[in-house]
Structure 1
Amino acid sequence: MYSNILVPVLFDDDARIQKALEVARTLATPDGRITVMHVMEDVPGYAMRYLSDDFMKTAGDAIEAQLKDLAATLPNARGVLIHGHSGRSILEYAREHETDLIVIASHRPGMQDLVLGSTATQITRHAPAAVHVLR
């Protein structure tokens, strides 16, 4: 059982999110904390020219609302939105907040992952805590 669980989510597959949240709920101690997190990556400057001035704020507000809704389905949970590079930001957050378990969903690896590496791969290789990877 774990007392401080981090569940990074990507809003591309609701079924995987629900599965990750259920695993976190199952593995948490009765008074364990669960943090549901999304990392909002920076939009390159050349692409920002094509977006409205308030795009990032509007998108961030919508994501925070989704995180709050997800956290409300779990005991002692909260939603957190951070900005940065996904893998590095998740690892840094886990270290700073003394996370003892990271529950992360992974897609089936493809050729691009052999060259670039996926976020889940980076987390499992460098995490300061136990990692539970969902497929």
Structure 2
Amino acid sequence: MYENILLAVDLGHKEAEQRAIDTVVEYARAFGATIHVLNVVPDFGMALVGGFFPEGFEKRALARAHEELNAFVAAVIPAEIPHRTIVGHGGIYREILHWAQETKADLVVMSAHRPELEDYLLGPNAARVVRHARTSVLVVRPAPA
């Protein structure tokens, strides 16, 4: 049923990703799917904003994200499950949609972190991915408290 699953993770909230990771691992085992684990490093948005950071900051941030994502995935995805890591750079929901197409994902999985009042139904990035994705999207909520 699923061959390629894109798992979008936020390395700033690793502990909140565990339920989505468990779900994706079970799906991959059940369907023999490959997991593509994506983390997105946001861009500055405007050149003016980038001027406030030291030269080479984005390049170092991307390198650090690759290292951190590889270490994270090695710790949480069993070695026998086919997987790869991807670090995107830009707008979060746009990068998720881009990589869903690039990886030919037939399922996108992402966590819904504990909502703030203003995005109580679904976070803004998750809502945009659900609205615009050309494939199925599974939003995994945290376990009830």
TM bracket (short chain): 0.7 to 0.9
CA-CA distance at 1:50 after TM superposition: 2.2
State the partner residue of 1:122.
128
State the partner residue of 1:42.
43
Which amino acid is 1:58 matched to?
R
Output the CA distance in 1 between the equivalents of 2:16 and 2:8. 11
Note if contact 2:27-2:33 (Cα within 8 Å) is conserved in structure 1.
no
Output the CA distance in 2 between the equivalents of 1:112 and 1:104. 19
Note if contact 1:4-1:100 (Cα within 8 Å) is conserved in structure 2.
yes
Does structure 1 residue 20 correspond to structure 2 residue 20?
Answer: yes
Does structure 1 residue 59 correspond to structure 2 residue 61?
Answer: yes
Output the CA distance in 2 between the equivalents of 1:58 and 1:92. 23
Q: Which ranges in structure 1 are unaligned for 5 or more consecutive residues?
A: none
The alignment's TM-score, normalised by the length of structure 2, stands at 0.80
Output the CA distance in 1 between the equivalents of 2:117 and 2:21. 28
State the partner residue of 1:131.
137
Bigger strand share: 1
Note if contact 1:5-1:32 (Cα within 8 Å) is conserved in structure 2.
yes
CA-CA distance at 1:30 after TM superposition: 5.6
Q: Secondary structure at the match of 2:130?
A: helix
CA-CA distance at 1:111 after TM superposition: 4.8
CA-CA distance at 1:71 after TM superposition: 2.9
Note if contact 2:41-2:61 (Cα within 8 Å) is conserved in structure 1.
no
Which amino acid is 2:34 matched to?
R
- Taking only the aligned residue pairs, the percentage that are identical comes to 31
CA RMSD of aligned residues (A): 2.0
